[in-house]
Structure 1
Amino acid sequence: MNNKLGKMLLIAVAFIIAFTTVSPPTSQAAAAPTLSYGSQSVDVPDLQFRLKVLGYFKTDVTTYYGKMTQDAVERFQADYGLTADGVAGSKTWSLLKRVSVNQAELDLLARIIYSESRGEPYKGQVAVGAVVMNRVQSSSFPNTVKEVIMQPGAFTAVDDGQFNLKPDATAYKAALDAAAGWDPTGNALYYFNPSTATSDWIWSRKQTVQIGRHIFAL
């Protein structure tokens, strides 16, 4: 993890702990409206939270779309190949939702990391979160964090109830790292424990790396 990512992580963790004033929406069912300078709505904190996780938005989350929000949107758009007009329209929202998380999704990501990989080295915990994010961005899987995690049979911890365990601070840090783009897996979409895996199919997947007790694969 480079210094820039490390600094971003420390800021984001502090933000998550202190984040009590405005809670972003928990649902992605409805399309977010176009937001621009001067907008004030319940969708603004969702936008700001996602940009903050990615390191673009550096101040407190509010319901107002001001100059700092506009600048953050412009930098995100420029970095991801969109027209840098500072307006959060459908294309910006669509991409932002595929490469970031809101508060509710961060909670889900931390829970799956904790339930699937607590006791693994920190890099291995980030790797589990990265697999979830890689699936969100893959056309072969659902396109939201919740749908990826809840896909039937996708994660053992969901099936056996461990997903309901309360994640610790390390799991949240790993979730932030994964959501911010750290992927130690080499774009893996799967992982398994070689000591317990009996599926011929999972063993047939192209392996990218082993971290702790998990092998990651494409």
Structure 2
Amino acid sequence: MRKIILAKVLLISTLFLIVTPAAIAAQLGDRVLTKGCRGQDVAQLQQVLNNKGFWSGYADGILGNKTVDALVKFQKAKGLKADGIAGFETFSALGVDTSYRGSSGRFSTRDVELLAKLVYAEARGEPYSGQVAVAATVLNRLNNPAYPKSIPEIIFQVVDGHYQYSPVLDGQINLVPDETARRAVVDALSGVDPTGGATTFYNPSKTSDQWVRNRSYVTAIGNHVFSK
């Protein structure tokens, strides 16, 4: 009977994971998870907690009170800071592999593919130099202490309730990049930076956001303005 009930729970959890809108394509370990976060990685966290006996509710991809409570109980059981926030130490205790994180100029295949997805989502159709430039701005953020210290955390960063990159919000980050986008990332990783140090970019015809428009202008390539 217990096996039947468990099977039903897992089935329902899987169904929730499939039908719940989760535009955020982050994998578990890509970013720090706090109350209110939504996405595929949250659903994965819920499944891991449930499998370890810390019931966090169905895997709906929404980090609410029940998931926070489960996190706190897990953290207490492991002797961690019981703050209900899933960060590096909690991921390690959960057995989540975070070894992909880029550091000291070394990047994994996963980092490169994620960056290529961003380039493809943001700049397909732009000149090749513009695609390299988009990748370079992410790497420039990586070297700037004002930004997170891994490619996934930069791409999925939320500031004042807003995602830094619109493809993360609208789901285009899930698109499979083409070889041009991948090649642009490789060039950027090799040190090519057509922007000369820009950390952000925008399309003037598609955004009225004053924060990005008020940044220091560096250059324009194709339809994008690059700034610091």
Aligned residues with identical type, % of pairs: 40
Select the residue among 119, 131, 134 that pairs with 2:137: 131
How far apart in 1 are the matches of 2:150 and 2:109?
Answer: 13
2:108 matched residue in structure 1 = 102
Residue equivalent to 2:227:
217
Matches within 5 A, 1:1-150: 97-150=103-156
Q: Distance in 1 between matches of 2:186 and 2:143?
A: 17
Distance of 1:100 and 1:171 partners within structure 2: 19
Q: Report the residue type matching 1:144 in the other structure.
A: S
Structure with higher Rg: it is: 2
Deviation string, structure 1 residues 84-131 (Cα, Å, up to 9, x no partner): xxxxxxxxxxxx824342211011111110011100000000000001
1:179 paired to 2:185: no
Which of 151, 155, 176 is 1:166 aligned to?
Answer: 176
Give the stretch that moved more between structures: 195-204 or 163-172.
Answer: 195-204
CA distance in 1, matches of 2:190, 2:139: 10
Give 3-state SS (helix, strand or coil) of 1:97's partner: coil
Q: TM-score, normalised by structure 1?
A: 0.55
The answer (yes or no) to whether the contact 1:98–1:144 under 8 Å persists in 2 is no
State whether residues 132 and 145 of structure 1, in contact with CA within 8 Å, keep that contact through their aligned partners in structure 2.
yes
Rounded Cα–Cα distance in structure 2 between residues aligned with 1:213 and 1:100: 31
CA–CA separation in structure 2 for the residues paired with 1:161 and 1:209: 28
**Is there any run of 5+ residues in structure 2 with no aligned partner, and where?**
1-27, 32-101
Q: How many residues align?
A: 127
Higher relative contact order (CA 8 A, sep 6+): 1
- In structure 1, C-alpha distance between the alignment counterparts of 2:171 and 2:184, rounded to whole Å: 21
Match for residue 64 of structure 2? none
TM-score by length of 2: 0.53
Q: Which of 199, 213, 217 is residue 203 of structure 1 equivalent to?
A: 213
The Cα of 1:28 is off from its aligned counterpart by 9.0
In structure 1, distance between residues paired with 2:197 and 2:217: 11
Runs of 4+ in 1 over 2 A off after TM superposition: 26-29
Counterparts in 2 of 1:192 and 1:98: CA distance versus 1, 3 Å: farther
In 2, the alpha carbon distance for the partners of 1:99 and 1:206 equals 26
Question: Once the 2 structures are TM-superposed, how far is the Cα of residue 181 of structure 1 from its aligned partner?
Answer: 1.1
Q: Write the distance in 2 (CA, Å) between the matches of 1:159 and 1:113.
A: 15
Could you tell me whether the CA contact under 8 Å between 1:98 and 1:143 is conserved in 2? no
How far apart are residue 136 of structure 1 and its match? 0.8
What is the Cα deviation at residue 27 of structure 1? Answer: 7.2
Q: Displacement, 1:202?
A: 1.6
C-alpha offsets along residues 160-212 of structure 1, whole Å, 9 cap, x if unaligned? Answer: 00000000000110010111111111101110011122122222111000000
